[in-house]
Amino acid sequence: MKGILVSEFGSSDVLNYTELQSVPVGDDEVRISLKAVGINPVETYIRQGTYSLLPELPYTPGKDGAGIIEEIGKNVTEFNVGDRVFVSVGGNKGRGTYAEEIICNTEFIYPLPDNLNFEEGAALGTAGMTAVHALHQKGKIKPGDYVLIHGATGGVGNLAVQLAKLHGAIVIATAGSIEGMTMLEKLGADFVLNHREENYLTVIDDITKNHGIDVIIEMLANVNLGKDLEVMALNGRVVIVGNRGEVTINPRLMMTKDVQVMGFISANMTQTERKENSHQLVAALKSGVRPVIEQIFSLEDAHKAQDFMMSERKTLGKIVLKVGE
């Protein structure tokens, strides 16, 4: 099979499209013929060698993908050959999804609803599970909550907007371009703010009638966390899912309103949490939630896709790799 192999850490040039060795399916595993692959920013940090958790070299990148099951292990009962699925793999010993096939344990495999195509399925794994986990497991959102989603035009953000609305929250979403703001309005956000405008959060009191924000999904904590704490409601929750540096805050803003600030990475989800999150996500997908796809590249152009994802651009959804014809 063909796929991407990284033999040294560095620029996107180290993403080598080559022949990969196929391995046998374990008793609790399935082999999936991948049709599309989702890419995530963390994969660029790993490729550069700057991430805190690094695989042994050489390795094949990627956590997310979608395709068709073509072989199952002898202990597998919940899936069948021919099933359409999406994956968000973990602990795969350097065998990622940037390839024509993936072998993984069934706990990382989820049914792909018939109303979604493979490209949309590939955009779900990390982004969808992160959005559900942030909103429900960590944020504990309730109908009627004011939910602020920063950087909502990205892979996690666009799904979080739709999921929060589906749960009955009042959604305030931010974007940095007119195109992004228009996209968020179409996704159902109740209020859309331009985070490039100075003091853009001063309207929060008016929007919430001085209640404040109950839950914030924070994509860039080093830039926004200090401002987030100024607009929180009593017992509000800030859930950090993205950060690119250090930040200085005033803890008294947390103390005076009993604000909780928490963060997580998807690798720390328990098996029980993954199962609960996947059930909520699949139910939402069947109800009409769909990921926004910004651009599709071929698998052999993974280097171009990663460069595009990390470039200074107007983010308008998820970047996906198409496998084969």
What pLDDT, on a 0 to 100 scale, did the predictor assign at position 314? Answer: 82
* Torsion angles phi and psi, residue 236, rounded to 5: -70, 160
| pLDDT, tens digit (0-9, with 9 covering 90-100), for 256-268 | 999 999 999 988 9
Q: Is residue 132 part of a domain?
A: no
Q: Are residues 108 and 196 in the same domain?
A: no
Higher pLDDT, 91 or 272: 272
Instruction: Determine if the peptide bond prior to 24 is cis (ω within 30°).
Output: no
Q: Is residue 254 part of a domain?
A: yes
Q: Is residue 131 part of a domain?
A: no
Rounded average pLDDT over 141-170: 98
Q: Distances from the Cα of 6 to the Cαs of 12, 171, 306, 311, in angstroms? A: 10, 40, 14, 21
What pLDDT, on a 0 to 100 scale, did the predictor assign at position 274? Answer: 94
| pLDDT, tens digit (0-9, with 9 covering 90-100), for 48-93 | 999 888 999 999 999 999 999 999 999 999 999 999 999 999 766 7
Q: Are residues 119 and 9 in the same domain?
A: yes
Altogether, the residues listed in the chain come to a count of 325
Q: Are residues 225 and 312 in the same domain?
A: no
What pLDDT, on a 0 to 100 scale, did the predictor assign at position 325? Answer: 66
Domain at 191, CATH number: 3.40.50.720
Consecutive H or E run containing 224:
helix 221-228
User: For all residues of the chain together, what is the average pLDDT?
Assistant: 95
Rounded average pLDDT over 134-145: 98
Confidence of residue 170 (pLDDT cuts 50, 70, 90): very high
| Owning domain of residue 305 | 2-126+271-322
Indicate if the pLDDT at residue 230 is higher than 70: yes
Domain at 118, CATH number: 3.90.180.10
Q: Is residue 133 part of a domain?
A: no
Q: Are residues 284 and 232 in the same domain?
A: no
Confidence of residue 312 (pLDDT cuts 50, 70, 90): confident
Rounded average pLDDT over 197-212: 97
Partners of 88 in the β-ladder: 64
What pLDDT, on a 0 to 100 scale, did the predictor assign at position 244? Answer: 85
Q: Which of 219, 242, 263 is the last residue of a domain?
A: 263
174-188, 199-213, 264-278, range with the lowest pLDDT: 264-278
Q: Are residues 254 and 164 in the same domain?
A: yes
Q: Is residue 16 part of a domain?
A: yes
Q: Are residues 35 and 74 in the same domain?
A: yes
What pLDDT, on a 0 to 100 scale, did the predictor assign at position 267? Answer: 85
Q: Are residues 219 and 313 in the same domain?
A: no
Q: Are residues 20 and 90 in the same domain?
A: yes
Rounded average pLDDT over 93-111: 93
Q: Are residues 14 and 93 in the same domain?
A: yes
Q: Are residues 212 and 296 in the same domain?
A: no
What pLDDT, on a 0 to 100 scale, did the predictor assign at position 245? Answer: 87
Q: Which of 263, 285, 303 is the last residue of a domain?
A: 263
Q: Is residue 100 part of a domain?
A: yes
Task: Go through 101-114 and write b for each residue having 16 or more CB atoms within 10 A of its CB, e for each that does not.
Answer: bbbbbbebbbbbbe
Residue 190 DSSP code: S
Residues 6+ apart with CB under 8 A from 165: 171, 187, 188, 189, 190
Q: Which of 246, 263, 280 is the last residue of a domain?
A: 263
**How many structural domains comprise the chain?**
2
What pLDDT, on a 0 to 100 scale, did the predictor assign at position 243? Answer: 87
Q: Are residues 41 and 97 in the same domain?
A: yes
Q: What is the value of pTM for the model shown?
A: 0.94
Q: Is residue 299 part of a domain?
A: yes
